[in-house]
């Protein structure tokens, strides 16, 4: 374990844009990252995550805006003078150097004494549990081991900030899940600021203090995983974070409530959207109850008729796809396996406060398919 416990550097990005010819890769983003925070940049491919990381690292310069690291303006400062650790998916190790020499490299660049270098390399390798591999060459390591060495190399000089771009992207699921926990532990031990890029929302939930959700060069929302899942501000964020169903239909508004018609039935929720926005309801699968048609729904619930088109056994419970009267599909998740089968005529029931009222947005669906 590293003995110096220092706090990481805060980052402030404001009104920062990046264009490639007439293509806007980043559109005036604002992002404040606290000292020592684990911030994840999450979004689909092409949404601007890597561009943002490259700007922080100094690999590219923005077309406008402000960027400070630890309170210092770093625009114009070359990457090697920013003192940042970097791990990329394909940021390869030097193939002709052993693990120990790879990890020592940033210290050599900084002209550190040999004895100091050796103790730091030993500490960094211990931190990523690669001590026994110090004399191997990268070609003698698995993908996961190589990324652990890359992590040790990025942290060996005690940077106040570590940037990681999909570092686990090339690894299989079990290994990825184990390394996620290792990265989380290392972050906790060091107190360094981590900025992590992924397109995998489950990975973001496991790792992050907060998550910034990117879509088409903009940040749609910044918050904890819980905030993004439970109170998304946009349909895109709601759809991107976890599973959901969306109800659309003719709507009316009265007494501060919105009513949607699905087939012959109506559902009503509290709240009204501002302006002329078309409302939709976002429903989480675990907030929906599945009932047989003859069952009476719990009081104060919205109820919609449907038919089960798919039953999926998940080990821990089951997932059902229910076709509603307007042909849309609702996804229901249940921890106990009820006596439901494909083809059953059913009802779904949900409490009004469990539905999120959001503005419809075609882009939300387009970007996801
Ligand atoms: P992400 O990491 O979220 O997948 P990027 O930040 O790499 O996305 O890219 C954002 C957008 O900018 C993409 O549409 C990409 O094609 C474009 N882009 C990135 N780098 C360049 C470049 N050097 N030249 C032209 N377009 C680029
Ligand atoms: Mg990328």
Does residue 317 line the site of ligand 1, with CB under 6 A? no
In the beta sheet, which residues pair with residue 12? 32, 68
Asked whether residue 233 falls in the same domain as residue 260, the answer is: no
The more confident residue out of 255 and 367 is 255
Domain count, the chain: 2
CA distance 259 to 256: 10
Asked whether residue 281 falls in the same domain as residue 142, the answer is: no
User: pLDDT value at position 91?
Assistant: 60
**DSSP labels for 332-364?**
EEESS--S--TT-EEEEEEEGGGEEEEE--HHH
For residue 263, is pLDDT > 50? yes
What residues have their beta carbon closer than 5 A to ion ligand 2?
Answer: 50
Of the three residues 193, 224, 239, the one that is the final residue of a domain is 239
Inside any domain, residue 100 = yes
Does residue 216 line the site of ligand 1, with CB under 6 A? no
Asked whether residue 227 falls in the same domain as residue 282, the answer is: no
User: pLDDT value at position 6?
Assistant: 55
Asked whether residue 344 falls in the same domain as residue 203, the answer is: no
Distance 218 CA to ligand 1 centre (A): 13
Centre a 10 Å sphere on the Cβ of residue 80 and count the other Cβ atoms it contains: 10
User: pLDDT value at position 187?
Assistant: 96
Distance 52 CA to ligand 1 centre (A): 10
Which listed ligand is nearest to 43 at the C-alpha? Answer: 1
For residue 28, is pLDDT > 90? yes
Region 248-274: mean pLDDT is 95
Which structural domain, as residue segments, surrounds residue 170?
A: 11-239
Inside any domain, residue 23 = yes
User: pLDDT value at position 92?
Assistant: 81
Is there a contact between 13 and 214 (Cβ–Cβ < 8 Å)? no
Does residue 45 line the site of ligand 1, with CB under 6 A? yes
Q: What is the pLDDT of residues 107-129, one digit of tens each?
A: 999 899 999 999 999 999 999 99
Inside any domain, residue 84 = yes
Query: What confidence tier does 2 reach under pLDDT thresholds 50, 70, 90?
Result: very low
Is there a contact between 252 and 240 (Cβ–Cβ < 8 Å)? no
> How far does the chain reach from its first CA to its final CA, in angstroms?
44
For residue 369, is pLDDT > 50? no
For residue 266, is pLDDT > 80? yes
Of the three residues 239, 273, 291, the one that is the final residue of a domain is 239
Residue 113 DSSP class: -
Asked whether residue 180 falls in the same domain as residue 265, the answer is: no
Q: What is the pLDDT of residues 30-53, one digit of tens each?
A: 999 999 999 999 999 999 999 999
Does residue 55 line the site of ligand 1, with CB under 6 A? no
**Counting runs of H as helices and runs of E as strands, what totals does the chain give?**
9, 21
**Closest of 183, 197, 287 to residue 242, by C-alpha:** 287
Asked whether residue 19 falls in the same domain as residue 150, the answer is: yes
Nearest CA to ligand 1 atom 25: 20
Q: What is the pLDDT of residues 62-89, one digit of tens each?
A: 999 999 999 999 999 999 999 999 998 8
Asked whether residue 123 falls in the same domain as residue 267, the answer is: no
Per-residue tokens: 299: 């009081």
Is there a contact between 45 and 216 (Cβ–Cβ < 8 Å)? no
Per-residue tokens: 155: 């942290």
User: pLDDT value at position 148?
Assistant: 94
Asked whether residue 222 falls in the same domain as residue 361, the answer is: no
Q: What is the pLDDT of residues 128-178, one digit of tens each?
A: 999 999 999 999 999 999 999 999 999 999 999 999 999 998 889 999 999
Nearest CA to ligand 1 atom 7: 50
In the beta sheet, which residues pair with residue 245? 283
Inside any domain, residue 6 = no
Inside any domain, residue 5 = no
Average pLDDT of the chain? 93
Asked whether residue 251 falls in the same domain as residue 148, the answer is: no
């Amino acid at each position: 374990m590293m003995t110096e416990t220092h706090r990481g550097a805060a980052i402030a990005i404001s009104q920062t844009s990046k264009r490639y010819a007439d293509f806007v890769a980043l559109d005036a983003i604002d992002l404040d990252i606290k000292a020592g925070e684990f911030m994840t940049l999450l979004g689909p491919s092409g949404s601007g995550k890597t561009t943002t990381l490259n700007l922080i690292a100094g690999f590219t310069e923005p077309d406008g805006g402000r960027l400070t690291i630890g309170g210092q303006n770093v625009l114009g400062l070359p990457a090697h003078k920013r003192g940042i650790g970097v791990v990329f998916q394909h940021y390869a190790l030097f193939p002709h150097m052993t693990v120990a020499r790879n990890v020592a490299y940033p210290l050599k660049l900084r002209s550190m004494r040999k004895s100091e270098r050796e103790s730091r390399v030993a500490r960094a390798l211990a931190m990523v549990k690669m001590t026994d591999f110090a004399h191997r060459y990268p070609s003698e390591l698995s993908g996961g081991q190589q990324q652990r060495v890359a992590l040790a190399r990025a942290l060996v000089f005690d940077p106040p900030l570590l940037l990681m771009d999909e570092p686990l992207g090339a690894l299989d699921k079990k290994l990825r899940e184990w390394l996620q926990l290792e990265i989380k532990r290392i972050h906790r031990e060091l107190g360094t600021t981590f900025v992590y890029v992924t397109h995998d929302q489950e990975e973001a939930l496991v790792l992050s203090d907060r998550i910034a959700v990117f879509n088409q060069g903009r940040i749609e929302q910044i918050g904890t995983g819980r905030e993004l899942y439970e109170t998304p501000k946009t349909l895109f964020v709601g759809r991107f974070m976890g599973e959901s169903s969306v109800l659309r239909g003719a709507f009316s508004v009265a007494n501060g409530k919105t009513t949607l018609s699905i087939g012959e039935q109506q559902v009503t929720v509290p709240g009204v959207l501002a302006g002329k926005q078309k409302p939709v309801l976002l429903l989480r699968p675990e907030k929906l109850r599945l009932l047989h048609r003859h069952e009476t729904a719990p009081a104060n619930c919205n109820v919609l008729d449907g038919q089960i088109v798919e039953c999926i056994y998940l080990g821990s419970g089951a997932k059902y796809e229910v076709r509603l009267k307007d042909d849309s599909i609702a996804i229901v998740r249940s921890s106990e396996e009820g006596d439901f089968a494909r083809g059953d005529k059913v009802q779904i029931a949900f409490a009004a406060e469990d539905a999120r009222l959001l503005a419809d947005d075609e882009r939300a669906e387009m970007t996801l398919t």
